[in-house]
Copies of this chain bind each other. A is one copy, B any other.
Amino acid sequence: MMLLRPFTVLALGAFAAAALAVPPATPTPAAAPRTPGEIIAAAKPGDWVEIAPSDLLVMTLAPDAAGSPRRVIIQLMPAPFSQAWIGNIRALASAHWWDGTSINRVQDNYVVQWGDPNGDDGAKAKALPAGLAKTSQDDYATPRASGFGTWFPFLRDGNYAPHVGFKSGWPIGWDGDHAWPVHCYGMVGVGRGLAPDAGTGAELYVIIGHAPRHLDRNIALVGRVVSGIEQLSSLPRGTGALGFYEKAEQRVPITSIRLASELPAAERPRFQYLDTASATFADYATARANRQDSFFIKPAGGADVCNVPVPVRAVNGGAQTK
């Protein structure tokens, strides 16, 4: 039997983790360790942070073959990350620009992508609203000077970032000078052409497979799906190159994409995420890294940042992550 290794939190420079010391897992033979789900279920009301309606995008797809409605809800990232693209996304939603566009690409173990299917054809491309911001690849990562708080807890990585952790509810990489969001399952990013093109925000994708972390710092991440990802991840895979649908009729029509803040108050979805600075989140991350609940016999002693999904729940609904 492998010995239990404590879950390591590294404190770096000014990013003192003392306020969130993650305790080593201490096996208590008398009581069964709590599962990550049990820890979330026991969170205090104050551990949950409400997501502003202006940070929620509501995507409505054409009904499925059985006539059932399909809705996907995306949370946009907070400052200081990716704000040029996110400003454009808010402008595109306010202009109802995505209405009548479609999901055009579903590549297995990779991405679902949507936008104007003729976006690469200058003659047929749908005109973008005026006033979109110019974006830059320099903003795929955010310099320390931009300010992203005084600390966040660090998990081990090993390949894609010197350090990884969570900031204001998001999985983040960090190299001492810059911080950047990372490509976990469900994260939403901005399609682009070859560099230095950095994309406008009109073409978006969501990760539906193993985290393609090699995309980190190579493309802008702007948000994550907080509800309805199964409406995207279960779509038929495209059979064209890169998973594009080969026939127009295979594309999934997008009825509308709206900011929740622009919906009538009674129609606004409400979501909360678990405060990643809370002791509850630390307990949850520790449990994810040291599964000792009934099914498990060998705790790993660590966790990939993408295997610690930030819990999100619908208000007056159930938790949205397993």
Residues of A within 8 A of B (CB): 2, 65, 106-110, 137, 140, 155-160, 175, 184-186, 194-195, 209-214, 216-218, 229-230, 233-237, 288-289, 291, 294-304, 306-307, 322
> For residue A157, which residues in chain B have a CB less than 8 angstroms away from its CB?
158
> For residue A211, which residues in chain B have a CB less than 8 angstroms away from its CB?
210, 304, 307
A232: nearest chain-B partner, CB-CB:
B108
A307 with B229, Cβ < 8 A, contacts A234-B234, A300-B159, A322-B110 known: no
Contacting residue for A185 out of B65, B109, B195, B289, CB 8 A? B109
Contact A195 B159 (CB under 8 A): no
Contact B217 A298 (CB under 8 A): yes
A213 with B307, Cβ < 8 A, contacts A2-B175, A298-B218 known: yes
Contact B295 A213 (CB under 8 A): no
Contact B291 A214 (CB under 8 A): yes
Contact B137 A233 (CB under 8 A): no
Contact A301 B159 (CB under 8 A): yes
> For residue A322, which residues in chain B have a CB less than 8 angstroms away from its CB?
107, 109-110
